[in-house]
C-alpha cells in the first residue's frame, strides 16, 4: 500500500523507522535483529538507506597509497526485497539517490523495484562523498532530487527514457522526499530551501520525511512555513535519540542541526555512554509525546540499526 494511503486511512499517529544496510561482509541477520524487537509496535513502514561509493586510500607495505572506490553498505534493493518477503505485513521504503547514478542507472533501479512489487520510495540527491565539498552528479545524472522525482513520475505515466518504447508498463510509485526543519546546509536561506521543496511536491512527491531535530519548535515552524507556501502533503518528523557522549558534537557536524542547551547539559553531566543512551531515550520520548499531541501523521525513527533505544521509546509512546 502507498504510504500516503496508509496515512490517510489512519486516525492515529503511525510508527516507522529507518535502517542502514549492514557493512559489506556482514550478515543480513543484523537487519532482522534490528527489526524483530520493534515488530510488536506494528511499524507501518521501514526505510532502507542508500549509500554511494566512497573513495578510500589503501596503504601498501612500500608506502605507496592506492586509491580505491568502494561501497561500504551495498544491498539496498536486495535488503528491501528481503524485508518484504520476511515481513509481508510491512511496507518498505528504499532510498534512491542521484549520486553515482546516471538517468539510465536510475531507470534500471526503478524497473527492479517495480518487478519486486516495491511501490514506495524516498527520492534524494545524496551527499557528496566524504572529504569532498561539492556534490557532483554523474555526467548524465540528476543534479538535484527534483530530476529524480520527475523521472519517477514519468515512469508512473509509462514514459521511459527510450521514447521509442511502445506499450510500456506504467509504474505506481509513491514518492517521498527529504525536508529540513533547520534548513539544508547548502541553502542560502529558508526561502530558497522551501522554494525547491515546493518544486519537488509540484512535480509529484507525496510526502516529506524530515531531517532529525531535537527541538520540536523547529518542526512546528517548518510545518507552518510549508503550509503557508501551499505544501499540503504529510510532513513526517524524523527523530534520532542521542546514543553516546560524543553524539552532541558529531550530530551537528554531520547533519547540520542544533542540539538544545538543556540536552547538551544533561549529556555533559553523564559519566558513561550508557547514561547518555538513557538521556537520549527520555528526551526522544518527550519529543514524541508532544509531536503526537500536535497530530503528526507518523513518528519516524532513525535507528542506525540499533533498536534497543527505539524499542524503549516505542513502548513508552505507542
Q: Pick from 275, 289, 302, 250: which is nearest to 95 by CA?
A: 302
User: Of the listed pieces 31-39, 85-93, 179-187, 227-235, which binds ligand FAD according to CB under 6 A?
Assistant: 179-187
**Toward ligand FAD, which CB reaches closer, 201 or 245?**
201
CA distance 197 to 45: 23
DSSP character at residue 143: S
The reply to whether 50 sits near ligand FAD by the rule CB under 6 A is yes
Which range in 119-127, 216-224, 243-251, 303-311 contacts ligand FAD by CB under 6 A?
A: 119-127
Beta carbon nearer to ligand FAD, 50 or 222: 50
Q: Which is nearer to ligand FAD, 18 or 266 (CB)?
A: 18
Q: What are phi and psi of 91, to 5 degrees?
A: -95, 145
Does residue number 127 form part of the binding site for ligand FAD (CB under 6 A)? yes
CB of 172 to ligand FAD, least distance (A): 22
- Closest to ligand FAD by CB, 1 or 191: 191
Per-residue contact track with ligand FAD, 95 to 114, x per CB under 6 A?
x-x-----------------
Under the binding rule (CB under 6 A), the answer on residue 193 touching ligand FAD is yes
C-alpha 36: how far from its chain's center? 20
Residue 187 engages ligand FAD in binding (rule: CB under 6 A): yes
Would you say 201 and 146 are in contact if contact means Cβ atoms under 8 Å apart? Answer: no
Residue 206 lies near ligand FAD (rule: CB under 6 A): no
Residue closest to 129 by CA, chosen among 95, 109, 99 = 99
125 binds ligand FAD (CB under 6 A): yes
CB atoms within 10 A of CB 136: 11
C-beta separation of 309 from 280 below 8 A: yes
CA dihedral in degrees (269, 272, 273, 275; nearest 10)? Answer: -60
Provide the grid cell at 276.
547518555
Part of the chain binding ligand FAD (CB under 6 A), chosen from 3-11, 66-74, 124-132, 261-269: 124-132
Candidate segments 7-15, 192-200, 241-249, 278-286, binder of ligand FAD by CB under 6 A? 192-200
CB of 5 to ligand FAD, least distance (A): 20
Nearer to ligand FAD, 170 or 250 (CB): 250
- The interface region with ligand FAD, picked from 28-36, 67-75, 141-149, 217-225 by CB under 6 A, is 141-149
At residue 210, φ and ψ (nearest 5 deg) are -90, 160
Q: Binding to ligand FAD by residue 52, rule CB under 6 A?
A: yes
- Site residues for ligand FAD, 216-255, by CB under 6 A, read 238
Closer Cβ to ligand FAD, 126 or 234, answer by number? 126
Instruction: Take residue 224 and report the three cell numbers written for it.
Output: 507552518
Which of 7, 146, 281, 299 forms a contact with ligand FAD (CB under 6 A)?
146
Q: What is the grid cell recorded at 58?
A: 589503501
Residues 6+ apart with CB under 8 A from 115: none
Neighbours of 172 (CB within 10 A): 12
Beta strand 120-124 with 54-59 is unpaired
C-alpha cell at 258: 542544533
d(CA 18, CA 144): 22
Q: Interface with ligand FAD by CB under 6 A: which residues?
A: 49-50, 52, 95, 97, 124-127, 144-146, 178, 184, 186-187, 192-193, 196, 209, 211, 238
Amino acid at each position: 500500500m502507498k504510504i500516503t494511503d496508509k496515512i490517510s486511512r489512519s486516525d492515529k499517529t503511525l510508527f516507522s523507522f529507518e535502517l542502514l544496510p549492514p557493512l559489506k561482509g556482514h550478515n543480513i541477520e543484523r537487519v532482522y535483529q534490528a527489526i524483530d524487537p520493534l515488530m510488536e509496535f506494528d511499524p507501518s513502514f521501514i526505510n532502507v538507506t542508500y549509500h554511494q561509493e566512497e573513495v578510500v586510500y589503501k596503504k601498501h607495505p612500500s608506502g605507496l597509497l592506492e586509491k580505491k572506490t568502494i561501497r561500504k553498505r551495498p544491498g539496498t534493493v536486495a535488503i528491501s526485497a528481503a524485508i518484504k518477503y520476511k515481513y509481508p505485513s510491512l511496507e518498505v521504503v528504499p532510498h534512491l539517490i542521484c549520486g553515482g547514478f546516471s538517468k539510465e542507472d536510475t531507470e534500471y533501479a526503478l524497473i527492479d523495484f517495480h518487478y519486486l512489487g516495491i511501490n514506495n520510495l524516498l527520492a534524494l540527491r545524496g551527499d557528496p562523498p566524504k572529504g569532498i565539498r561539492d556534490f557532483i552528479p554523474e555526467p548524465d545524472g540528476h543534479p538535484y532530487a527534483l530530476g529524480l522525482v520527475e523521472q519517477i513520475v514519468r515512469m508512473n505515466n509509462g514514459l521511459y527514457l527510450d521514447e521509442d518504447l511502445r506499450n510500456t508498463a506504467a509504474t505506481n510509485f509513491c514518492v517521498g522526499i527529504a525536508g529540513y526543519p533547520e534548513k539544508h546546509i547548502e541553502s542560502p536561506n529558508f526561502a530558497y530551501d522551501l522554494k525547491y521543496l515546493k518544486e519537488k511536491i509540484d512535480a509529484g512527491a507525496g510526502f516529506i520525511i524530515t531531517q532529525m531535530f531535537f527541538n520540536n519548535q523547529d518542526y512546528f515552524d517548518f510545518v507552518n512555513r510549508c503550509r503557508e507556501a501551499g505544501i499540503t502533503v504529510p510532513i513526517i518528523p524524523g527523530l534520532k535519540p542521542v546514543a553516546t557522549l560524543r553524539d552532541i558534537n558529531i550530530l551537528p557536524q554531520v547533519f547540520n542541526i542544533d542540539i538544545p542547551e538543556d540536552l547538551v547539559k544533561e549529556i555533559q553531566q553523564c559519566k558513561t555512554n550508557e547514561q547518555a543512551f538513557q538521556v537520549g531515550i527520555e528526551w526522544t520520548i518527550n519529543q514524541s509525546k508532544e509531536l503526537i499531541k500536535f497530530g503528526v501523521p507518523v513518528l519516524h525513527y532513525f535507528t542506525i540499526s540499533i533498536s534497543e533505544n527505539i524499542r524503549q521509546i516505542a513502548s513508552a509512546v505507542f
